[in-house]
Amino acid sequence: MGRITANSQNDKTKNNEFRTIADIFLCQDKFMRHLYGITNCSTVKKARAWLEARQIDYVFHDFKKEALTAEWLAACLQHVPLEILLNKRGTTWRKLTPEEQAQAADESGAIALMCAYPSLIKRPILTDGNGVLAGFDEAQYAQYVQAAG
């Protein structure tokens, strides 16, 4: 079974600032995969089970316990389109006021919404320093893991 590490507090440098976009994903460990999500999300559970069944090591980060930063979300958006990263299918989106939903029209507004409401982020997010996957699809995970070696 893959090693599952408790939530990482090592995402920041000594100066408490991110050095580069890569550091945001790598958490200063360029060989470790990081899975971001919410513990009780069924899709996150499927992704974790898939990784564990293949004995793939990863560090899990719970959105509800570790606040995400605007910088982290901006880095995700360099790899994943906003239309995918911002989950407009869930109940959190439907509960937003029309004014709040209108904020998502541009990237900075969408980032602010996702920081305020982490459930708006497509889950899970898998990173390994080479790229980002949003959501869980077995075929995509297999291809991503194989490409990473």
Active site residues: 41
Calpha distance 81→78 (Å, rounded)? 8
DSSP state of 69: P
Question: Which residues, including other chains, have CB under 8 Å from residue 62's CB and lie 6 or more apart?
Answer: 7, 37, 38, 39
Amino acid at 128: D
**Helix segments in the chain, DSSP class H:** 21-26, 42-53, 70-77, 82-85, 91-95, 98-103, 107-116, 138-148
Q: Is 81 left (phi over 0), alpha (psi -120 to 50) or beta?
A: beta
Q: Which two tokens stand for residue 20?
A: 């580069």
